[in-house]
Amino acid sequence: MMELQLNFLSTTADERVKRHLKRFTFLLYVIIFGATLFILFRTHESQTYMAQVFEGLNADIEGKISSVEPRMLFLERKIGVRNRLRKQSEIFLQPKARPSVWRKTLIDITKALPPDLVITKVFSKPETKNKNKKSSGPSLTIEGYTYIEGSNRDILSVDNFRSNLLFSLPISTNYSDIKVENNRIYKEEDRLKLVFSLGLYE
C-alpha cells in the first residue's frame, strides 16, 4: 500500500513538471513570435522611411535638372549654330593674314559691339624676329570707352561685348581665349568714363 502511494505521488509530481515545462515552452514561443513580429514591423517602418527619403531626394534632383535643362539646350543650340557656320563658310579656313579674313573680323567686332561702347583702336602685336621665341601678350587688342551717365549705366557692357565675341566668327575660330585686359572707371569733366581693352589670344 505504501509503495502504491509513493508511485502515485511520483506520477503527480512528474505531471506537474510536465505542465510547467509546457507552459514555459508556450511562453517562450509567444516571446519569440512577438519579438519576430516587432522586428518585422520595425524593419518595415525603416524601409518605408528610406523609400520616402529617396523619393524626396529624387524629386529634388529632378527639379534641379528641369531648371538647368533649358539653359543647357540654349547653349547646345548656340554651339550648334556656330559649328554649322564654320562648316558652311570656307572663309574661316583661310589664313588670318588675308584681307578678306581681316574684313570679316572687323565686321564681327562691329556686330558684337554693344551700342553704348565706342572702339578707339584695334591693333595686333608686332611679329617677333625670332620665330622660335613666343612673345607674351594678346595677338589682337581692342581698346575703347563708354560714359556711365543717364540711361547708360551698364557697367557690365564690356563683359557683354566679350561674351558676344566668344560666339562670333571667325574670331572664335582664330582666337582661343578673350580676356579683359583693362576695365577702369575714372572721372572726366564731371562724368564717369569707363575705359576698357580686350585681349584676343591665339
Cα 80 from Cα 8, distance rounded (Å): 103
With H, G, I as helix, E, B as strand and everything else as coil, classify residue 196: strand
At residue 133, the pLDDT reads 58
The dihedrals phi and psi of 182, each to the nearest 5 degrees, come to -145, 135
Q: Among residues 181, 90, 92, 93, which one has the least CA distance to residue 144?
A: 181
> Does pTM top 0.95 for this prediction?
no
DSSP state of 144: E
At residue 186, the pLDDT reads 85
Note down pLDDT in tens along the chain; length 202 residues. Answer: 545 454 545 566 567 777 777 788 888 888 888 888 888 888 888 888 887 877 887 778 777 777 777 777 777 777 777 676 666 555 555 555 666 778 888 888 888 888 888 999 998 877 665 655 566 788 889 999 988 876 656 667 888 899 888 888 778 878 888 999 988 888 888 888 889 999 999 8
- Contact yes or no for 162/180 (Cβ under 8 A): yes
Axis-axis angle for helices 99-112, 157-166 (nearest 10): 140
Instruction: Name the residue type at position 82.
Output: R
